[in-house]
Structure 1
Amino acid sequence: MTNIDLFAIGNALIDLEFKVTDEFLNEQNLQKGTMQLSDGETQQKLLDHLNNTQVNKGQASGGSAANTTVAFSALGGSAFYACRVGHDEFGSTYLKGLNEAGITTSLKSVSNGVTGTCVVLSSADAERTMQTYLGITAELSDEQIDLSPLRSAKWLYIEGYLSTSDTARAAVKKARQIAKDNNVKIALTLSDPAMVQYARQGLDELIGDGVDLIFCNEDEAQMYTKTDSVEAAFAKLKLLSNEVVITLSEKGALVGNQYEQFYIDGRKVNAIDTLGAGDAFAGAFLYARNNGEDLKTSTELAILVSSEIVSQYGPRLELTHYAKLLQNFQKECA
């Protein structure tokens, strides 16, 4: 296997997307803007109700870290994705999509069981609410991960959603040690306010004694640090990470390290669906940093790519679109 730039670990999920009203979310006791875990039977009941009453927007391969890895790869980086899918149609579709995006996967990822699914509910204000049945990915462990590519990678990327799984956290612990032994930088995303609220101890374990780069949005940052301002949250997160990126939706992002911090303005777009925006931001940011760009330039590219994501339904762009965005961005910067 050739050397890769990014080694990512995350859940493998097929997104089942619907457009819904706020009234529907309230009726189903779903907390808007968060991800809630579910069992297969409960999710199927929700799907039946959705198919009868709401607008189906189709399905797509998803998973937070996978979306990040697709953006990274489509922009020109080389990547490996470690995950677990079932030996079923969804699993085959999932891995095929990653491979078509130029991402390397392993046959170790395929196991007997059901591939995870995420019901994605987009409301009129473009906010996304998710109900997830993890399926076989709930049992992701180091036995399903080919860790050999990590030894020569430049970045290890960890999805915060893994904080809910004992076996996944153990796998991440092993991956972190391999990364440290081989001078591989470690990046992590807090993923979702629900992970901070309900799996705080698991996130602490994923972060361990610190990381090189942490991604989060404003709500996640303040909840995790127990502060009431983004600036105060940033100050605390700097104690855990060399570089900190706090996304601020349409307002842009607060970015920095031990020596500097600054705001980068967002781009005005017609937001339709926020699903995957933070993931794409992380992928573009990592791509730029991996190619030697400074924090400011990396953030500007990340904002450009993520703004395109929210202008459409679904968590990923057409693969050729990423390259076009990069080309246009480079022209702007020239």
Structure 2
Amino acid sequence: MKIINFGSINIDHVYSVDHFVRPGETLSSNSYAVFSGGKGANQSIALARANADVVHVGKVGKDGIWLKEKMEKEGIDTSFVNTVKAPTGHAVIQVNKEGENAIIIHGGANLTYKSSDIEKVLKTAKTEDIVLLQNEINDVDKIIKQTKSKGLKVVFNPAPMSDAVKDYPLELVDIFIINETEGEALSGEKKPEKIIKAMGKLYPKSSVVLTLGKKGVIYAKGKKVISVDALKVKAVDTTGAGDTFIGYFLAEFSRGMTIEKCLEAAIKASSICVTRKGAADSIPRLLV
């Protein structure tokens, strides 16, 4: 079973700061570093490091060819990662002393998908394959529709959340993987239990994985609800933790593991991720 990830590829510019910059303030950073990033690329790397069979579909500019090469070294199939005239997408990331982050994203090449690109990829897919999506590329709605027309499963992580997401054909999504902010935007509820109930009513055919940071994770499908506690660790940088969770969850899911095993593996991997700096570079490898 392959996981086909239509996902963003970014260059991350990371600044370590005492606090997030305020309106009108000029703030000196304590350090600066460049990492490979993009929610899509991060999730593909997490999948690969969790020993999943992953195909990444993406776009980079000439300035991002090194990102494609990095993904290839991780064992990711990059046959559908194309170089375009637009600059590679990038992110400006502030990381404060508590390890929290604030991010500005420029889409660049990530916003140059065409319908022909989608069709070309899906022609190679098999019925047991899974398509993974985030919200840092264009034509997400078209990808969902075309994926379901092929009879494939759709896993959607609506990050970064936007008003446009509610206009997507979300009833076609098989698995939502969301955090509390995304859950509130989709359901209109704030408390985790209410988010789960509301999502169940809105999308009764879908499974929901609601990540709660330090409070763990809740999985729900119909009347089945599973909660798993988080592990206690000292966070250094939370960038990439959600992507690590998704990669490990889906890797275990693709191997036919129980939902409990999928959640436990994902929590363990993401808890390791937050103790390291960077996004893709902080993702742990599965030891076998």
Retained in 2: the 8 A contact 1:17–1:122?
yes
- Matched with 1:41 is none
Retained in 1: the 8 A contact 2:51–2:286?
yes
Paired with 1:149 and 1:60, the residues of 2 have a C-alpha distance of: 33
Q: Note the C-alpha offset of 1:300.
A: 0.5
SS at match of 1:285: helix
SS at match of 2:131: strand
Retained in 2: the 8 A contact 1:7–1:155?
yes
Structure 1 segment 201-212 matched on structure 2, within 5 A: 202-212=164-174
SS at match of 1:26: coil
Query: Which residue identity does 2:97 align to in structure 1?
Result: A
Query: Which residue identity does 1:154 align to in structure 2?
Result: D
Q: Note the C-alpha offset of 1:12.
A: 1.5
Q: Note the C-alpha offset of 1:107.
A: 6.0
- Matched with 1:79 is 54
- Matched with 1:123 is 96
- Matched with 2:193 is 231
Q: Is 1:185 paired with 2:153?
A: yes
Q: Note the C-alpha offset of 1:85.
A: 0.8
1:185-222 C-alpha deviation (Å, 9 max, x unpaired): 10001213xx2xxx22x212334333110011112212
Q: Is 1:154 paired with 2:122?
A: no
Q: Is 1:17 paired with 2:5?
A: no
Retained in 2: the 8 A contact 1:309–1:316?
no
SS at match of 2:234: coil
Query: Which residue identity does 1:77 align to in structure 2?
Result: A
SS at match of 2:271: helix
Paired with 1:284 and 1:76, the residues of 2 have a C-alpha distance of: 9
1:105-156 C-alpha deviation (Å, 9 max, x unpaired): 2366211121111011111121111111222223333345541465226110
- Matched with 1:138 is 111
- Matched with 1:98 is 71
| Unpaired stretches in structure 2, ≥5 consecutive residues | none
- Matched with 2:231 is 267
1:70-92 C-alpha deviation (Å, 9 max, x unpaired): 1111211111111111123xx11
SS at match of 1:274: coil
SS at match of 1:271: coil
- Matched with 2:285 is 322
Structure-1-length-normalised TM-score? 0.79
SS at match of 2:231: coil
Cα gap change, 1:94 to 1:268, in 2 (>3 Å): same
Cα gap change, 1:87 to 1:93, in 2 (>3 Å): same
Retained in 2: the 8 A contact 1:109–1:144?
no
- Matched with 1:7 is 4
Q: Note the C-alpha offset of 1:318.
A: 6.6
Retained in 2: the 8 A contact 1:20–1:124?
yes
Retained in 2: the 8 A contact 1:150–1:179?
no
1:246-270 C-alpha deviation (Å, 9 max, x unpaired): 1111111111211311210000111
Cα gap change, 1:206 to 1:99, in 2 (>3 Å): farther
Cα gap change, 1:220 to 1:181, in 2 (>3 Å): closer
Structure 1 segment 303-318 matched on structure 2, within 5 A: 303-317=267-281
Kindly report the root-mean-square deviation, in angstroms, between the aligned alpha carbons of the 2 structures.
2.2
Paired with 1:28 and 1:99, the residues of 2 have a C-alpha distance of: 42
Query: Which residue identity does 2:212 align to in structure 1?
Result: L
Runs of 4+ in 1 over 6 A off after TM superposition: none
Q: Is 1:242 paired with 2:206?
A: yes
Counterpart of 1:26 (choices 12, 22, 27) is 22
Q: Note the C-alpha offset of 1:242.
A: 2.1
| Unpaired stretches in structure 1, ≥5 consecutive residues | 30-48, 163-167, 328-334
Cα gap change, 1:133 to 1:98, in 2 (>3 Å): same
- Matched with 1:218 is 180
Cα gap change, 1:135 to 1:227, in 2 (>3 Å): same
Retained in 2: the 8 A contact 1:7–1:149?
no
Query: Which residue identity does 1:26 align to in structure 2?
Result: R
